[in-house]
Amino acid sequence: MNNQIKTNFKKTITVFKQWNRKGYAVFNSLHRVIKITTLTLSYSIVLLPLQVLSQIDSTITKNLDLEEVVVSAQKSPVLYSQLSRMLTTVTDEEIKNLPVTSVNDLLEHFSGIDIRQRGVNGIQSDISIRGGSFDQNLILLNGVNISDPQTGHHSLNLPVDLNSIERIEILEGPGSRVFGPNAFSGAINIITNQSDNNYTKAQFTAGDFRLFAGNVATSYKIGKTKHFLSFSKSNSKGYMKNTDFDQYNMFYNSNYNSEVGKIDFQLGYSNKEFGANSFYTPAYPDQFEETKTTFASLRFETGDKIKLIPVVYYRRHQDRFELFRYDPASWYTGHNYHLTDIYGIKIDSRISTNLGVTAFGAEIRSENIWSNVLGNVTGDTISAIGESEGFYTRKYSRTISNYFLEHSLELGQFSMSAGVLSSWVSEDDFDFTFYPGVDLGYTLNKRFRVYATVNKSLRLPTFTDLFYNGPSNIGNPDLKPEEAWSYELGIKYNTKIMESSISYFYRDATNVIEWVRPQNASVDDKWETQNLTHVETNGITFRGKINVSKWSIQNMIFSYAWLHQNASASTELLETKYSMNHLKHNLIININQSIWRNLTLSWVLKYQDRAGSYLKYDISSNMYVGEQAFSPYWLVDAKANYNLGLFTIFSEVSNVFNKEYIDIGNLEMPGRWFKAGFNVQIGY
């Protein structure tokens, strides 16, 4: 990928002849003179301002510090100095050091994200970015949208585990004009193996509550093709009654490099079975659920100055929900069965000139559901796929088409990226809506960069929002999409010792979809989905990393987020079920230590203070006993690694001090949980 040339000045110049699409984003480099001749880029979560490419036809030489550019030999280029957004990248090394066992656990270690876990070990979590709801963010796998249209509860049903992930990119703030609908408050891109090396690796973990987890992954390159295959499985008897789980994932990725371009194919499958103790109501604790997720995509990339990237993708999600796992009530008529199919095709194009980079493209996405609960009545009874006793009596379909245009440029120390998304949804009587935005940045000097952004975003109602009618809920098929204007100001400060950023943002959201009911309603009154007049969100986020390298401490990472929300309705005072239960304060401190030789230790301290309250349920009397405010709490997690070359032995403890806490009302989270295991990697 690069050649090193010795000069008369005894400096090393790295000449990057061509970038290929082997990462979808952020990368690492060294302090040196970088000479960039040709850059060929892929479209991903961090390709927001691409100003550096504005002189793709000429040869430019710059002195770039580590703070200004992060480069890795296997990853597509992004100049950190030109990135006018709040973005966090988590590498595989960081993932290995953190005391986490799933993607859900990992994301909880970043202050801009609120993970409210229903089931541990990646079973089910509601993810919120900057105070948004669990339906207001977009999840991507290797740059392809895998979000669930039925409900955001299923968006993290991923066909990969941590051992298969090379890095995760977290975009805080709206991304609709770049990624399309539902990137309302943020987006997360999960990137799997991008290495050109041949290897096989495995990891096995055992722990309290009869936990077992194992995964195996292999990467092999044959000529111009590269193949990656992984399998993982985990199960546990659960930390309390009806919290057991059994799940497995399979994932395959291959790519082929030819003279015409590059072809990338991925295929994944996930299966989860779990006791859902009080997941959706504490009145019936013996709930049970099984989900199956199938995902596939095919991507082609060709061109140089004019780049074309067509993508086709498919996602199927099956869900069986049992309100009664054991001894159903006499009035219970049967389980809920859902199947969603998503078909999509997208083409991205980019043209690079001396005036900057112009990106444009289109996407058509079809979202469909078959169910015995959600959708319009069909008049027929259809046997549920893969369920001997299941059936579908309802269905619903919608088509979404998106068209985007964006231009990025760099003028000295100033950079700009501006664009617009035009979206049409078949539910909206053929009306096009437009979502513009602009990101501006200015580099003050080698250490400081300031930026400002203004963006409009949207979120479509889920099928649950539209149609779910249950013992305590009423759906609304006439819901409109949510919309929001977001404004952000930020500053980044980077030196060899410290990397930091701080930002202030304000989001004014209208037609926000919420489950609401009148204030002072009785416990028997149902929640109904409505479009609130608007929800205002103010927030401050801070992240700092100090590279200490003293007293056995390698580095310390501090992140903090403060949020304040105000929700109001146009006609009456309403209480909301989800939107006002955000984290007011979220502080996370991560300390990494080198204890002795190959022994390392990682500590994570978390402080969370949640706004709002919940209706407390007393199990002994089987009744609700009044409103209960969320209590703030501290948590401490720890992990030790001992490297033996091919083998690494590790042990970790979550909730070290056995703290009692809840993320969601009436759902008790596990206490102290000890885990230990080893991993091995063999290259060949």
**Which one-letter amino acid corresponds to residue 81?**
S
* Residue 612 DSSP class: S
Strands (DSSP E) contained in 582-666 are 583-596, 599-610, 613-618, 623-629, 633-643, 647-654
Beta bridge partners of 148: none
- Is the dihedral angle over the CA atoms 424, 155, 48, 353 positive or is it negative? negative
| The predicted structure's pLDDT at residue 21 | 38
Q: How far apart are CA 106 and CA 109, in angstroms?
A: 6
| The predicted structure's pLDDT at residue 73 | 24
| The predicted structure's pLDDT at residue 430 | 59
| The predicted structure's pLDDT at residue 54 | 33
Q: How far apart are CA 680 and CA 205, in angstroms?
A: 12
| The predicted structure's pLDDT at residue 436 | 95
Q: How far apart are CA 319 and CA 337, in angstroms?
A: 6
| The predicted structure's pLDDT at residue 81 | 54
Q: How far apart are CA 105 and CA 103, in angstroms?
A: 5
Q: How far apart are CA 217 and CA 224, in angstroms?
A: 20
Query: Per residue in 194-221, pLDDT tens?
Result: 788 899 999 999 999 999 999 999 999 9
SS3 632: coil
Domain ranges of the chain: 2-88, 103-683
Query: Per residue in 333-387, pLDDT tens?
Result: 899 999 999 999 999 998 888 888 898 999 999 999 999 999 999 989 999 999 9
| Structure-block tokens of residue 417 | 């990226």
Query: Per residue in 457-504, pLDDT tens?
Result: 999 999 999 999 877 788 999 999 999 999 999 999 988 888 899 999
Query: What is the three-state SS of 471-539?
Result: CCEECCCCCCCEEEEEEEEEEEEECCCEEEEEEEEEEEEEEEEEEEEECCCCCCCCEEEEEEEEEEEEE
Task: Count Cβ atoms within 10 A of the Cβ of residue 454 and give its class: 0-12 exposed, 13-18 middle, 19 or more buried.
Answer: middle
Which class would CATH give 103-683? mainly beta
Determine the distance from the C-alpha atom of residue 674 to the mean position of all C-alpha atoms in its chain, rounded to a whole number.
Answer: 26
72 membership: H or E segment, kind and range: none
| Cβ 461 vs Cβ 437: under 8 Å | no
| Structure-block tokens of residue 28 | 């690492």
| Cβ 44 vs Cβ 26: under 8 Å | no
Q: How far apart are CA 235 and CA 210, in angstroms?
A: 8
Beta strand pairing status for 527-550 and 473-474? parallel
Q: How far apart are CA 318 and CA 341, in angstroms?
A: 9
Beta bridge partners of 592: 555, 602
Q: How far apart are CA 261 and CA 397, in angstroms?
A: 35
Query: Per residue in 289-347, pLDDT tens?
Result: 999 999 999 999 998 888 899 999 999 999 999 999 999 999 998 999 999 999 999 99
Q: How far apart are CA 26 and CA 558, in angstroms?
A: 21
Q: What are the backbone dihedrals phi and psi of residue 107, each rounded to the nearest 5 degrees, phi first?
A: -65, -25
What residues in the chain have per-residue pLDDT under 50? 1-78
Taking every pair of C-alpha atoms in the chain, what is the biggest distance, in angstroms? 88
Determine the distance from the C-alpha atom of residue 516 to the mean position of all C-alpha atoms in its chain, rounded to a whole number.
Answer: 27
- Is the dihedral angle over the CA atoms 77, 81, 86, 90 positive or is it negative? positive
